[in-house]
């Protein structure tokens, strides 16, 4: 029998997921459970949605057992893939996406070749859900499409729900799938996350869909064989999208809220590997082995090959209810997925550059990243470059004039033409540093008419660093990034100072600045915000950067927590930061960048940037001087600490609650390399731990996973 949701409150439902996903912390292959608690806060009525789905599933089951269902054509779901990329291998090909569609159609009609691997004991419940997936041929505006969009964004790394705002189509008409380089950890589970999905009716339309790693899409192209390589990650996530929980949900007893389908044997915890002898629950009747073949477990991809009849009933009930528009004839016609032969589309112009910050006289390599239709001809325009035009798919252009430069591309085929222009896309740093005085100070009191500071907005077109006059440590103005409202999660915004000649500074250079921030507090369902601010240095005009100071969350906050938009009200809510830059003293053209990363937190303010003189205490250790290997680890972890000077050091190992498990060292350590060994057998259990390294002026944290 299916379970009942009677008297289960939204609070209890969220608490269930918080308490019953700990066993998945080894790898966190799928982050759907963690997302449910967040999405339920946005849509508390989602619980009632599930009541309806499972009531309908029971009705479908009765019809099926009475021989009243079956024999119909497959239900078709229109799909769009939004590829979020930075021009790397995560920018997967159309062919790789089409291969994934093939895998889905085989798995959801039980025509996959490995059905022969389903063990005999489970053949009676093996199901053909009779669902097909097709790439859309018409976009929401009625235009011709290949069912693929491409968006250049740094948010492709450690992606979360934030990428959904970059490209989204009407979720009632399309299944949105966002393809990214990597996916964020939820902060407790850690490990590698391959994908996550919304559940039907959870989180609102803007969150509805699936996020998946690019190297887990399909079986060809950029596929990581160690993470699967068979396209089953999306099979698993679409199971969630159509209403299925993990088969191990609730463990052997089903817990307060189990998976709820009686033809999937209970599983004590997530299955890993491909152990056909596993039988982790013996309280079921009949006593069956773990169904490692099931797509909704965590076993290796090559072991997966089955949805059950009960799971098929739930998925089809979801299509009868919350997702009832997707497969209708009207929607299939509107999205071009009704079987009408595909027609060629006009291309959509798109491009990116290998580097957007370069030195005067450097060559910049551009790539035509146009999509949607085959490009017959292209015309580049570089008004201030050499050459000024090109018809190449990947031109190299030299920029000899300092400042910002525009770039345009027009692409054409027999179906049409499209153009794209990015203003101020390339920034060329002058050959000689802009600042050569012995001291530099920026209080942001001027109007920046000479580009004394540069702003690069990588995350949002409207919210970035801005000069404000309602707060300042001294004077009347400062710089602010508005993370409380307007900035998307994961958005990166850079404030860059003019190039500086450090050789003109008589003493080792030191950077001092004032910062103000209030952390947004968490709740019983989420941790406090972790907005981040970094100080980064470049000696090659911005092509590469080195991190010299990095703080986030409570470490960044200078004024406690605030549930309202933060504005510092006194100098006591500011903190002076000192960063030793002596290792760059011989460099004659240096850029300093303040990089802010939004994570649903609060506003960050900067003021009184001062570059001169030595620091009182030499910087002891940087991010690059503190490493952990291997991580994750099954047995032993080696911790390397490289001290730049003799210093008092405290190194502790903490559990996920912050409690100190062991103090590795708390004493004065000599300058140089130090190695420490941590063995799992000295700890109480496998799981997540945090290494905390503290010196006089540094605090660095590293997460460790023992599995």
Catalytic residues: 237
Cis, bond preceding 632 (omega within 30 deg of 0): yes
For 65, 568, 701, the CA distances from 628, given in Å and listed in that order, are: 56, 37, 11
CB 342 within 8 A of CB 148: no
Q: Is 156 exposed, middle or buried (0-12, 13-18, 19+ CB in 10 A)?
A: buried
Q: Is 447 exposed, middle or buried (0-12, 13-18, 19+ CB in 10 A)?
A: exposed
Angle 637-216-275 from CA coordinates, rounded to 5°: 65
Closest by alpha carbon to 298, among 218, 233, 209, 244?
233
CB 210 within 8 A of CB 237: yes
First to last CA, the chain: 35
CA–CA separation, 427 and 403 (whole Å): 5
Closest by alpha carbon to 595, among 476, 696, 495?
495
Q: Is 601 exposed, middle or buried (0-12, 13-18, 19+ CB in 10 A)?
A: buried
Angle 371-91-594 from CA coordinates, rounded to 5°: 115
Q: What are phi and psi of 458, to 5 degrees?
A: -100, -5
Closest by alpha carbon to 368, among 428, 423, 413, 408?
408
DSSP string, 653-677: EEETTS-EEEEEEEEEE-SEEEEEE
Q: Are strands 546-552 and 636-643 parallel, antiparallel or unpaired?
A: unpaired
The structure tokens 């859309």 sit at: 136
What are 575's two structure tokens?
């903190």
CA–CA separation, 357 and 542 (whole Å): 5
């Amino acid at each position: 029998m299916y379970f009942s949701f009677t008297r289960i409150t939204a609070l209890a439902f969220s608490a269930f997921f918080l308490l019953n996903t700990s066993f998945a912390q080894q790898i966190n292959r799928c982050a759907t459970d963690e997302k449910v608690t967040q999405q339920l806060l946005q849509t508390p009525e989602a619980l009632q949605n599930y009541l309806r789905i499972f009531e309908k599933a029971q009705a479908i089951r009765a019809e099926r057992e009475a021989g009243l269902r079956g024999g119909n054509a497959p239900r078709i779901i229109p799909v769009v893939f939004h590829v979020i990329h930075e021009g790397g291998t995560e920018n997967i090909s159309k062919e790789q996406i089409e291969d994934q569609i093939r895998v889905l159609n085989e798995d959801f009609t039980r025509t996959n070749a490995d059905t022969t691997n389903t063990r005999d004991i489970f053949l009676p419940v093996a199901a053909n859900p009779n669902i097909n997936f097709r790439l859309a041929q018409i976009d929401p505006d009625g235009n011709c499409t290949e069912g693929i969009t491409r968006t250049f964004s740094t948010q492709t790394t450690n992606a979360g729900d934030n990428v959904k705002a970059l490209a989204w189509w009407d979720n009632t008409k399309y299944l949105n799938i966002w393809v990214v380089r990597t996916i964020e950890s939820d902060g407790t589970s850690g490990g590698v996350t391959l994908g996550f999905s919304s559940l039907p009716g959870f989180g609102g339309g803007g969150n509805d869909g699936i996020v998946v790693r690019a190297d887990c899409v399909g079986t060809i192209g950029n596929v990581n064989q160690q993470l699967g390589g068979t396209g089953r990650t999306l099979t698993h996530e679409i199971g969630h999208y159509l209403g299925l929980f993990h088969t191990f949900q609730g463990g052997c007893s089903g817990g307060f809220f189990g998976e709820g389908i009686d033809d999937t044997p209970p599983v004590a915890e997530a299955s890993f590997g491909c152990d056909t002898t596993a039988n982790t629950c013996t309280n079921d009747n009949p006593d069956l082995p773990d169904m490692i073949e099931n797509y909704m477990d965590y076993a290796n991809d090559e072991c997966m090959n089955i949805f059950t009849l009960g799971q098929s009933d739930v998925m089809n009930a979801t299509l009868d209810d919350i997702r009832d528009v997707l497969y209708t004839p009207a929607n299939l016609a509107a999205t071009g997925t009704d079987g009408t032969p595909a027609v060629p589309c006009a291309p959509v112009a798109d491009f990116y550059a290998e580097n957007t910050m370069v030195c005067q006289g450097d060559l910049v390599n551009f790539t035509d990243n146009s999509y949607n239709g085959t490009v017959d001809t292209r015309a580049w325009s570089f008004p201030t470059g050499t050459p000024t035009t090109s018809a190449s798919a990947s031109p190299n252009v030299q920029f000899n004039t300092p400042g910002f430069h525009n770039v345009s591309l027009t692409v054409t085929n027999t179906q049409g033409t499209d153009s794209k222009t990015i203003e101020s896309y390339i920034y060329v740093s002058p050959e000689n540093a802009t600042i050569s005085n012995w001291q530099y100070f920026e209080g942001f009191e001027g109007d920046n008419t000479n580009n004394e500071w540069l702003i690069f907005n990588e995350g949002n077109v409207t919210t970035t660093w801005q000069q404000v006059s309602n707060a300042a440590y001294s004077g009347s103005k400062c710089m602010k990034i508005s993370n409380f409202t307007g900035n998307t999660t994961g958005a990166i915004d850079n404030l860059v100072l003019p190039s500086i000649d450090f050789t003109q500074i008589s003493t080792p250079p030191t950077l001092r600045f004032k910062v103000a921030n209030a952390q947004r507090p968490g709740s019983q369902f989420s941790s406090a915000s972790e907005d981040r601010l970094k100080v980064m240095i470049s000696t090659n005009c911005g092509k590469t950067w080195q991190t010299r100071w990095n703080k986030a969350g409570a470490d960044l906050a200078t004024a406690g927590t605030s549930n309202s938009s933060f504005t510092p009200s006194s100098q006591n809510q500011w903190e002076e930061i000192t960063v030793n830059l002596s290792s760059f003293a011989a460099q004659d053209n240096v850029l300093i960048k303040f990089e802010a990363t939004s994570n649903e937190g609060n506003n960050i303010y900067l003021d009184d940037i001062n570059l001169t003189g030595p620091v009182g205490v030499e910087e002891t250790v940087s991010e690059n001087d503190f490493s952990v290997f291997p991580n994750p680890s099954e047995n032993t972890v080696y911790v390397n600490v490289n001290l730049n000077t003799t210093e008092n050091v405290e190194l502790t190992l903490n559990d996920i609650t912050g409690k100190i498990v062991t103090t590795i060292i708390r004493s004065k350590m000599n300058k140089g390399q130090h190695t420490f060994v941590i063995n799992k057998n000295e700890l109480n259990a496998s799981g997540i731990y945090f290494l905390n390294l503290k010196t006089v002026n540094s605090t660095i944290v590293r997460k460790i996973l023992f599995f």
